[in-house]
A and B are shown apart, each in its own frame.
Chain A
């Protein structure tokens, strides 16, 4: 029992300190560099340590020191308690979702099977939906407790947008559950390890293409980033977090970047085979024409974990690309897209998927 607890603790710490936090903080820098590349300018490159610049990588440290040494200003007109817990709720909701995502196949050490997943819940899907929708509380609490017109407006818009797209998100996932007949994430990943004709992997993006196309924009809307950044809208209302400063504002930002990482992990798990590598079975590569390449189990495991991380990094990058390419939606367009276009399509997807499975 003690070893089990220690192993779990090690996994928790590893996920938080090796995957989530480094990726999220690195993303703050990558985003600045990516936007600079796309706008034909240099981007972050000033911070240096002893003349060493490393493409401005030290800007991450400088940003951190700056935001943590700023005055933490709680407005006297605000509801103190709610104002203080709002950034925590956002960070918490984003981070906790990662607990059920499997980042590698089960490994065997000293006769014990260790799942590369923080907690193997049999209700993994519902857990993700439950905590994913908790993010809206952070927006409500921040906007309401700030006692400021702009913050209120931002919060109202944020609620409307997030709940609208949450419905689409949930319905798109129903299709995925239908295909795999399980709400346990390891089952879903295992189901995506099979192939059609020995060549085409049964990834979610092929079994549920419409669900993927609905899930991606809906999930980006949940992260409240461009083109769905109406709750923040830096150039019109400053957003629900406008009265925040210093470390608490940094927590909001960190929460946003963690959301990107978690969303990428979700996309990889549900639609791109999770840790599966195409044609890679437990014994090595098995191709459709019967050719095989034998591999040691350790190499296979490493390849699979690497493939998961690679997919996550790719989707993080894709989201940055989208964020710097598209303009902001107008609010009426946003609601129309959500309710009148994506929701009927999501309903249709469920019915059609069920019908195809039936026949």
Chain B
């Protein structure tokens, strides 16, 4: 175990590392600014679209499935955050004879979250190309086009 002061020093060193890492990028860009040319032309200033005239705004609509994925991600990322402290002390609890108790606690926690995964799975949110069944149940049953 380290002392509090040692820990603060370690974080100080990390800060030093970060500053050095940033410096590498900044120095590279500064050096390059001395030698690189700068002559914008009208063609260069256009939005790049494979050499075609740009059509419409880049603020297009995108598939809102991306949003669902982000939601499920938050669920599981929070789960991982809670699992780490549990994993660290798991061995200590086994030594105290409380292993079964803490295992059950975790199993309940993971089980509830796994239910969330099962729900998203059953709703078809983990499927990028949704079948018609998930889109319009009534229309699909009649065999109509949704």
Contacts and interface: CB of A to CB of B under 8 A. Distances in A.
Interface of A: 4, 8-9, 11-13, 15-16, 21, 67-73, 75-77, 87-88, 91-92, 95-96, 98-100, 118-122, 125-127, 129, 147-153, 156, 159-160, 163-164, 166-167, 170-171, 174, 177-178, 181-183, 238, 242-243, 246-248, 250-251, 331-332, 335-336, 339-340, 343-344, 347, 350-351, 354-355, 357-358
B145 interface: no
Given A8-B13, A181-B90, A163 B69 contact: yes
Given A121-B11, A242-B48, A247 B32 contact: yes
29 contacts: A4-B9, A8-B9, A8-B13, A67-B32, A69-B37, A72-B38, A76-B45, A91-B21, A96-B17, A150-B48, A152-B60, A153-B62, A159-B70, A160-B66, A164-B73, A166-B77, A167-B73, A167-B80, A181-B91, A182-B88, A242-B48, A247-B32, A247-B36, A248-B29, A251-B29, A335-B69, A347-B110, A347-B117, A351-B107
Size category, B interface: 35 or more
A122 B80 contact: no
A71 B39 contact: yes
Contacts of A343: 76, 117
B21 A95 contact: yes
A335 to B, nearest CB: 5
Contacts of B29: 72, 247-248, 251
B32 A69 contact: yes
Name, among A125, A156, A339, the residue most crowded by chain B CB atoms within 10 Å (CB to CB): A339
A118 B91 contact: no
B80 to A, nearest CB: 4
B7 A122 contact: yes
A73 B60 contact: no
A148 B47 contact: yes
Interface in B1-31: 1-2, 7, 9-11, 13-14, 16-18, 20-22, 24-26, 28-29, 31
B21 A16 contact: yes
Interface string B66-96: 1001101100110010011001111110100
Contact of B91 (A92, A119, A357): A357
Given A163-B70, A164-B69, A92 B18 contact: yes
B100 interface: yes
Contacts of B110: 347, 350-351
A100 B100 CA distance: 33
Contacts of B18: 92, 96, 99
Nearest to B44: A73
B140 interface: no
Contact of B106 (A147, A238, A354): A354
A149 B39 contact: no
A160 B69 contact: yes
A122 B2 contact: yes
B146 interface: no
Nearest to A330: B128
Contact of B58 (A12, A125, A148, A247): A148
A46 B46 CA distance: 34
B126 A340 contact: yes
B80 A178 contact: no
